[in-house]
Amino acid sequence: MATVHPKTSVHQPLFRPSRRPERLVLLGLAGMLSLAVLPSTAAAAPGDPTTTDEAASLVAERGHQLEVLTESYNEAREILSTQQAAVVAAEAEVAAADAQLTSLSEQLAGIAQTAYTGDGMSSLQAFMTSSSPEEFLDRVTILESVADHHNDLLERVTAARAAASDAREAADRAAADAQQQVNAVASQQGELEAEIAGFRAQYETLSAQEQQAADAAHGGPSLQAPAPAAVVANSEAAQIAVDTAMAQLGDPYVWAAAGPDSFDCSGLTQYAFAAAGINLPHSSKIQSSMGKPVARADLQPGDLVYFYNPVSHIGIYIGGGKMVHASTFGEPVKVGSVDMAGYVGARRVV
């Protein structure tokens, strides 16, 4: 049986009531992000539902809106981290090009100085010491070839340095854009915390039957978890990811959390695959573009299954039409049906 990944924190949950976010310095490409619009409290309030089904439906819709927003925040952090890494790489390229340019310039200057002081072979010396016109031409050709070679290298390194500098400027701009996207979502934290508090209060007013209906409407119905030995993946990495995710059954759902004791949907999948040595971004939308697509009929344990358009929910397939996922507020990590409402597709990353 695969070793279950120990619970080590990946990202601390951002969205906890009355808690300030830490400085945003986390990992896509700028411009890909589409931020969800945070609904006002008045617009999101259920009013006076007249039936149990209506109350449950409205709460489920509100929970999904919060999930969409937090997944947008997760995506913004991942994009920022990617762009910041690109800036570091571009700066390293510029430094390497500058070092090479300095070295070649010094070599070229040395050749010129040697020819001027007579320490090396000059065209005049080649003429005076050559025993024949042919030998003289050969020596001059060699001198010109050396000079041309250094000049060519110098031109190429200069061009490379300019290209590296342009890349760094582009990376800086992309990172700045990504930071603006993160700030745009983070600036709504106060309002989001109020929304979450209102959602929790609203959820608690529902009867047990209404809460179950709301959970099923958003997070799908809860199914019986199979015995650990019954879930068999086709690779060691997939098996470790499945076993790690299944070991989190019962852990609470917390927006923007990625373990070790609470999770949102993409936080759980990131945590599970990290145990298998596979790095996934903390974003359901970005995860849904990784690996290769898999048809519904070809699903295997360990495949990622994702939901809604744009993607805002993700889980891990465990076989038998079931998945393990962090479904929604009020529901712990659980086993559910892969055919719940909103299914879009699946990807295989191992």
Catalytic machinery residues: 265, 313, 325
Give the C-alpha separation, 76 to 20, whole Å: 18
CB 97 within 8 A of CB 157: yes
Paired strand residues for 345: 306
Q: Which of 175, 256, 285, 330 is nearest to 10 (CA)?
A: 256
Cβ partners under 8 Å of residue 161, min gap 6: 94, 97, 98, 101
Element of type H or E holding 193: helix 189-205
Q: Which of 206, 203, 245 is nearest to 228 (CA)?
A: 245
Q: Which of 82, 39, 35 is nearest to 63 (CA)?
A: 39
Q: Give the total residue count for the chain.
A: 350
Max CA pair span of the chain: 111
Paired strand residues for 313: 307
What's 263's DSSP letter?
B
Cβ partners under 8 Å of residue 96, min gap 6: 164
Element of type H or E holding 204: helix 189-205
CB 287 within 8 A of CB 274: no
CA distances from 300 to 5, 115, 241, 267, 285 (A): 21, 72, 13, 21, 21
